[in-house]
Structure 1
Amino acid sequence: MKFVFDLDGTICFKGQPLCKEITQALQYCHQVGHEISFASARPIRDLLPVLPKEMHTYPMIGGNGAFVANGGKVTHLTAFDNKTKKQIEKIIEEFQLSYLIDSAWDYTYTGSTEHPIYRNLDPDQLAKNISIHKINEMIKVVLFPNEHTSKIVSRLKSLQVRTYMHGQENILDISPLGVDKWSGLQKLNVKQQEFIAFGNDANDIPMFQFAKEAVCVGKHEELQKVATLNAESNAGAVADKIRELSKVYAAHLEMNR
């Protein structure tokens, strides 16, 4: 069975690398015969620093599906088309917004260094913070809308984009239309009803809808509607659930041999 894990708030807490409990649970999952993949809003560049080196070659979805990697190499990139790129830049200029924009590797960030998203941004300093005018391929965008949220959301609805609103962080997370975690998993040849998904936020809904089992970590009203299971939002509870499902589906593998 394939197991797919979101990172932040699911198996990775407060931006820190995977803790010992989670790492050991993932190792157990792998040892009993399951394939592990990661699916995050982070670009691949920012996924790697929180994962053990032994897992750097595992299949990965980054940027909510805009980046796909396998065997340690990025295999697919999906950027905004040039027209949409210019429209997003126009919204940024019109509303004087702060932003985080990822290109294929480098990024541009103008938000506060106090914002939670900043602590997850290129922690190993592998890339450069460049000007928005030097971003050739716009892969993923995060906007900090403040009091302009409703107006900006209305404008984004007319563009070829997919938008997730994260109220607690007050950000708008934007990907090209048709790009989500499920579309990314399909590029890794993951089939409907043939994987177990763990997640904690609205951007996990697309993959939850096609999973055999979908584990909502913590409380999220929208996500819980499509989840089949729940786990408390702490490392111990999540590690226990990983081990539990690993055992259950290892038994299924044995029965089908």
Structure 2
Amino acid sequence: MNFVFDLDGTICFNGQPISEKLLNALERLVDQEGHKVIFASARSIRDLLPVLHERFHKYPMIGGNGSMVANHGNIISTVNFQHDTLKEIIQLIDTYHVSYLIDSDWNYSYTGSDTHPIFNSLDPQKRAKNVPLDQLQSFIKILMLTSSNMKEVEEKLKKMEIVVHTHRGEGVLDISPKGIDKWSGLQQLGIKEGEYIAFGNDINDISMFQHALHSVMIGENLQLSPFASENVILSEDVENIIVEKLEELGTMYRTNIDNRSTV
């Protein structure tokens, strides 16, 4: 069985790398239970790597909410904004004085402050370069951080043929090309509907929850909740609870596979 994990707020907390306790549990899924582990994040592939121990760097990864996909340590797929759409977005950025993080396939352009929460997770290992907007080779994912009128920006974006996720707690608009989400990223890896277990915590996990065989929501999210098979409440003991859930589901779905193979 495939096990698909969002990172931030799901198995990665407070901007820190995934704990060794959870990494060991993921390895047991693979080495002892025979399952496959996939990471699916809003982060770019570049910013996924620092929160994962290097022994996981060749695992399948979906970055930018599906706009980039990597496997065996190589980026195998990227999706860019269409030229006309990108032109409209850049016009909004200029008109409404938007600060942003725009990702290319590796480098990025960042105009936010060094006190913004996103800054701490932005290329901490200096794997890439922060370049001016006109020097980006491609435009894969856009985060709008602040604006003179974010409400108007959001209204105009939602009239475009793009995917917009609104992170209310952070006041951030998360923008991907049309038709791009975590489920589209999974399809790029050859994963089919009902062939995976999904773990997530936010609205950008809805698409992968919708097509999962079983889905586990970490914490509370009213928009994601209708698509979750079950819920793990955030607490001081959340990592131990997740480890127990992985052991339970790993055994359950290994048993199901074993039973089917004997028919």
TM-score range, shorter chain: over 0.9
Gaps of at least 5 residues in structure 2 are none
- 1:145 Cα shift? 3.7
Partner amino acid, structure 2, of 1:8: D
Aligned residue identity for 1:228: S
The residue that corresponds to 2:82 in the other structure is: 81
RMSD of equivalent CA atoms:
1.1
The C-alpha deviation readout for 1:2-39, integer Å capped at 9, x for no partner, is 00000000001111111022111101111211000000
Q: Secondary structure at the match of 1:252?
A: helix
SS of the residue 1:256 aligns to: helix
Q: Which residue of 1 aligns with 2:27?
A: 27
For 1:113 and 1:87, how far apart are their aligned partners in 2? 27
Q: 1:222: which partner in 2?
A: 223
The aligned residue for residue 249 of structure 1 is 253
Is the 2:97–2:147 Cα contact (8 Å) retained in structure 1? no
Residues in 2 aligned to 1:221 and 1:137: alpha-carbon distance in whole angstroms: 34
Q: How does 1:74-153 map to 2 (within 5 A)?
A: 74-146=75-147, 148-153=149-154
Superposed, 1:181-220 pairs within 5 Å as: 181-220=182-221
Q: Which stretch shows the higher mean deviation, 12-21 or 96-105?
A: 12-21
Cα displacement string for residues 57-81 of structure 1 (whole angstroms, at most 9, x for unaligned residues): 1111000000011111111000101
Give, in whole Å, the separation in 2 of the partners of 1:228 and 1:147: 40
Task: State the percentage of identical aligned residues.
Answer: 45
Q: Aligned partners of 2:222 and 2:92: how far apart in 1?
A: 30
Query: Aligned-pair distance for 1:232?
Result: 2.3
Aligned length: 257
Shift of 1:147: 5.8
What is the distance in 2 between the residues matched to 1:197 and 1:108?
A: 31
Indicate the larger mover: 141-150 or 217-226: 141-150
When the two structures are superposed, what TM-score results if normalisation uses the length of structure 1? 0.97
Look up the equivalent residue of 1:249 and give its one-letter code.
Answer: Y
Q: Equivalents in 2 of 1:256, 1:138: separation in Å?
A: 44
Residue 240 of structure 1 is aligned with which of 217, 241, 244?
244
Higher relative contact order (CA 8 A, sep 6+): 1
TM-aligned CA deviation for residue 149 of structure 1: 2.5
TM-score by length of 2: 0.95
Q: For each residue in 1:179-224, what CA deviation from the matched residue of structure 2 results, as whole angstroms up to 9, or x when unmatched?
A: 0000010010101011000000000000000000010000000111
